[in-house]
Structures are given as C-alpha cells and as structure tokens.
Amino acid sequence: MTSNTQRRAAFLDEIGVGPLWVRRDATPGEAVHPKGRVADDIEPMAAAFDAASVVPEHAVPADAFVPLHAPNTPNADEVAHMDWTALKASVAGCTKCRLCHGRTQTVFGVGDEKAKWLFVGEGPGRNEDMRGEPFVGQAGKLLDNMLLAMGLRRGENAYIANIVKCRPTDDNGRDRPPALDEAAACLPYLQRQIALIQPSVIVALGKTAALSLLGLDPETPVSKLRGSVHRYADRPLIVTYHPAYLLRNMADKRKAWADLCLAMAIYAGAD
C-alpha cells in the first residue's frame, strides 16, 4: 500500500466512512444513488467537517452594474483559441465587467491542468482576492476535506475554478454572488479552461456555478438539480452545495456527501 493510499485510508477510517463506495457498472448519464456502508456512514463523514461562520451573501443592487468600454478585451471566439499562457494573461488584464475595479488580483484557478476532476465554485471571496487562489478560507478547508475523502488532493488530478475570476462585493464591501451579466462576461474563460483540461467529471459547487453552466432559470433551487447526472460540453456534471453554504447549514453535509458518491460512481463508470 502506498503512503498516499495509507493516508487516505487512515483519514476515512478516522471519520467513520470506511472504504469508498463506487458502482463499477455505472455509466455516464445514469442516475446512481449511494447505498450500503458509505450511505449509512454519511453522518459521521459530515460531522468531520469543520464548522465556521462566514459572511452572509447579499444580493447585488439592480442598478449596480456599469458597463465598461474595453476595446482590447478579447471576444469569446478569440478566447476559445487561446492556450494556457494566453488565457492566463487575458484573465489577468480583463476589464469586461465592473468587477475589475474592486479586485486586488484575478483568481484564475488552481490545480492539475490535465485533471480528470473539475470543481467549479461561484467567485473569489476576500481571502481568495488577496491570495490569488480559489477556496483558501474556511470554505476552502472544507473543500480540501471533501477532496481528501474522495481520494483527491488540491493539485493532484483535481482542478478548482470559479464562474467569475474577480471578487464580487456589495456596496459595503461584503462578498456577494456574481450578477448574471458578470457571470456571462467571464464564462468564456471558464469554457476555455474546460476545453483545455478535458475533465472526466465536473462538480458544480452551489447555485451560481450550476445555473451558469447549465443555463437554467436563476430561481432554480439547487435541491432540484441534485441527485441527477447533467451534461456540460458532453461531460457529466454533478450539482452539490457550495462549501460556504455547508458551513452555515450543517444538516445538508450528508446530502453533499451523497452527491460526491454519485460523482465517484459516474467517474468509475467513465474509466
């Protein structure tokens, strides 16, 4: 047994999950529900997540968006033909929407650029804006625990990105979800990341990521999207709760683990 396997097994044993459950006969597009020992032990898994308070989300004022004149900003077709170097440079200098005014730096994404797993959140928060890396606060610690329980690590066969690359804030400087036009302005960058990575499974973390990728009505609740296998760019996409939401709603952590079990089953069937 390798040292990584030993660490993974020890972690799972400590939190009471035991061997990970996967369906070897699962195929992409088939809804799979966890059962057996992993399903029974979801609660101990959820209890292992660290709880912490986070800044509540606030709606963006309807008149807050001010379009920018950015003649040197590449269009979607140009972005679709960029390599990694050009894409990173384009994101770093992007002025497509008003979020560029308040950022410390852009948050491009982090991880294995040939990863089989892609995790997509909504946008950078204060910590991410300072560090230039997604999910580095308390929600990031929870996401790292979720990855570890799946046998993954940040940067090893996993890539983490967001719908928008700049931190969205309200008039009081507090974190908020990105507005629809902000998400639309940034989406070509994420689409190109997906095309370059070619992941086997995409996990949408939260409402903003799910609705932006699937092009659904903004009022669609995450609860309506969970438990099914969706498709994006001809790849299976699983919807679960955002880690920041889970820190505020601990009872839903067992549901998030069920979502990850579904994602692992789909991944096993895709191999």
Whole-angstrom distance, CA of residue 202 vs CA of residue 267: 10
Instruction: Please give the pLDDT value at position 271.
Output: 60
Q: At what angle do helices 207-214 and 180-197 cross, to 10 degrees?
A: 70
Query: Average model confidence (pLDDT) for the chain?
Result: 82
pLDDT tops 70 at residue 228: yes
Give the pLDDT score at 73.
80
Q: Which of 52-56, 154-158, 184-188, 215-219 has the lowest mean pLDDT?
A: 52-56
Question: What percent of the chain lies above the pLDDT cut of 90?
Answer: 72
Report the pLDDT value the prediction gives residue 269, as an integer from 0 to 100. 87
Which of these ranges, 5-14, 40-49, 108-117, 160-169, has the smallest mean pLDDT?
40-49
What is the C-alpha to C-alpha distance for residues 164 and 182, in angstroms, rounded to an integer?
7
What number of other Cβ atoms are within 10 A of residue 238's Cβ? 25
Q: Which among 123, 151, 146 has a CA at the least distance from the CA of 55?
A: 123
Residue with tokens 């692992």: 264
What average pLDDT does range 126-136 have in this prediction?
96
Q: Which of 6-15, 21-30, 247-256 has the highest mean pLDDT?
A: 247-256
30 neighbors 229 (Cβ within 8 angstroms)? yes
More confident of the two residues 268 and 26 = 268
Does residue 210 contact residue 225 with C-beta atoms inside 8 Å?
yes
For residue 188, pLDDT beyond 70: yes
pLDDT in tens, 62-110: 344 444 444 568 999 999 999 999 999 999 999 999 999 999 999 999 9
Q: Which residue in 256, 190, 266, 196 sits closest to 223, CA to CA?
A: 256
Nearest to 267 by CA among 101, 176, 152, 125: 152
pLDDT category at 140 given cuts 50, 70, 90 is: very high
What's the average model confidence in pLDDT over 34-39?
44
Mean pLDDT, range 175-195, rounded to an integer: 97
Residue 132 contacts by C-beta under 8 Å, 6 or more apart in sequence?
Answer: 105, 106, 107, 108
Which residue matches tokens 């399903």?
39
Q: Which helix (H) or strand (E) holds 3?
A: helix 3-15
Q: CA 6 → CA 10, 144, 249, 264, 267, distances in Å?
A: 6, 17, 31, 19, 22
Asked if residue 43 has pLDDT above 80, the reply is no
- The domain made up of 3-54+66-270 has a fold known as Uracil-DNA Glycosylase, subunit E (3.40.470)
Write down the pTM of the prediction.
0.78
Nearest to 161 by CA among 124, 196, 195, 127: 124
